[in-house]
Amino acid sequence: MSGINFWVLDSQEYSGYEVYKNQCLICHSEGIISSQKFDKKGWLKLISKMKKFGADIAPDEEEGLTRFLMGLRKRKPIEEKKSSYSVQRDKFELVKTGAAVSPEPQQLYESTCAQCHGNDGEGKIGPRLKGRLVPKADFVAAVTRGKNRMPAFGDSLTQTQVLGLWQHLQKTQ
């Protein structure tokens, strides 16, 4: 029974889980969210920021969401993370050739960007990236500081990761 796990949540945490599922996972992956190391004050600040970006979180839902998020790092994910064919192909090529093929930008795109910009950059909640040449400075600024409804990722992605994403998107054009 190694693939089964259960979460025991009180009613307030469960209501926070519902908000998390319906509001947070729209734009963010579970991996990005659970990797954050905020205390209660930090989560409340981030929730306030997300509300400015359009997250529909009522004031009475904030406490439950905060409690759920604070415990998220301790819990195993409910759903198993699936990998795409291209990521698996790149890993196979790395093993087969011994070349320095890094699937990281593709994986990062899939876990961080695809929810809003589409699996192939075709656009969803966020604008289309496929077939667009976005200047490096504009891309870095939008990803690190946020733009319009897009949240800022400057606290969760390194500069190297952001530049890797930009290079990856240039290659997929």
Tokens describing residue 127: 């604008």
Q: Do the two domains 11-72 and 85-171 of this chain adopt the same fold? A: yes
User: 85-171: which CATH topology?
Assistant: Cytochrome Bc1 Complex; Chain D, domain 2 (1.10.760)
Domain extents in the chain: 11-72, 85-171
CATH tag, 11-72? 1.10.760
CA angle centred on 165, ends 141 and 103, rounded to 5°: 160
pTM of the model: 0.44
The distance of Cα 162 from the centroid of its chain, to the nearest Å, equals 13
pLDDT in tens, the chain (173 residues): 344 445 667 788 888 888 888 888 777 777 778 778 889 999 999 999 888 878 889 999 999 999 999 888 776 554 444 555 665 565 555 545 544 444 488 888 888 888 889 888 888 888 888 878 788 888 888 898 888 888 888 888 888 888 888 888 887 65
